[in-house]
Amino acid sequence: MASVEPVCDLLTKELRSRIADDVTARITLALLQNGLDSYRAIKILYAASFSTQAQVLIRVLVEVRIDLQMFLRLTAENPQKAARRVIDAMMLEKIRQQRETDFGGHQLVDGAPSPVTLLSLEKKLVTKYGASAGRAMRRHGFSGLSVRDRAITLGLSDLYNVVYRNFSRNVHGTDYMEHFRAQGIATESSVPEFEDSRDHVALSTAVTCLWKMATMVNDEIEHGLGEELHKFWQMCTSFDHWVPVPTGEGGNRAEV
């Protein structure tokens, strides 16, 4: 698998130098690092012939790539409000988790906020954003949109429908044919061709997602790595088994 990791390492290093004074840099770093770590884990799993398990992480990488672009869109409008919205959405989700466990175990953590404090904060956040938006943020995160709707907003419907939804079967363990094939139980004559095609799409998606994340971050922080990213993309699109993957608004495929 081609690698964009060195560029991502430079970008994460630069973001770390900014996080003390810039909360948006801290959130951007968390998203990029998540994508980079997922990409590296995908490579390890494929190298060990765990393709089905790797595809679970490709699904994660797709969602993180979508979230990064959604966040950068919000920061373009108002960086402080964007960061605050991410933090508030995380808190709403944490409070929901606590309520569903009847706040069990919080007393074991020194200095942890009490249930009364958490519920009071939740009420303030719901008042701040409104009941409908508060519910959406609690369920879907800072954007308030489902993964599907986020993908549509960014022109990534094909990426969602073809890759994300297909690889969901691996997350939920609902497609046992994958495991039958691995054990030699399935007898379809086209299995090798199917697996090759699936893996070409999967790996092209992983590379494209991380490349796009690096490109967006580089543009955002003006770190001057555009030429390196351009050369990397040219190399990728020259591969014999490269599969063009949607990269942005309008469902467009990347062009160089």
pLDDT tens track for 196-250: 888 999 999 999 999 999 999 999 999 999 999 999 999 999 998 899 998 875 4
pLDDT at residue 61 is higher than 90: yes
Q: What is the mean pLDDT of the chain?
A: 88
Task: With beta carbons less than 8 A apart as the criterion, state whether 54 and 17 touch.
Answer: no
Q: What is the DSSP string of 211-256?
A: HHHHHHHHHHHT-S-HHHHHHHHHHHHTSTT----B-SGGGPBP--
pLDDT at residue 59 is higher than 60: yes
Domain ranges of the chain: 5-77+149-251
Higher pLDDT, 9 or 108: 9
Q: Please give the torsion angle defined by the CA atoms of residues 218, 219, 224 and 227, in that order, rounded to the nearest 10 degrees.
A: 90
Distances (CA, A) of 130 to 87, 120, 134, 177: 16, 15, 6, 45
pTM of the model: 0.88
pLDDT tens track for 169-196: 766 666 666 666 666 665 555 556 777 8
pLDDT at residue 131 is higher than 50: yes
What's the burial of 233, exposed, middle or buried (CB within 10 Å: 0-12/13-18/19+)?
buried
- Specify the range with the lowest mean pLDDT, choosing from 45-49, 101-105, 198-202, 249-253: 249-253
What band does 28 get if pLDDT is binned at 50, 70 and 90? very high
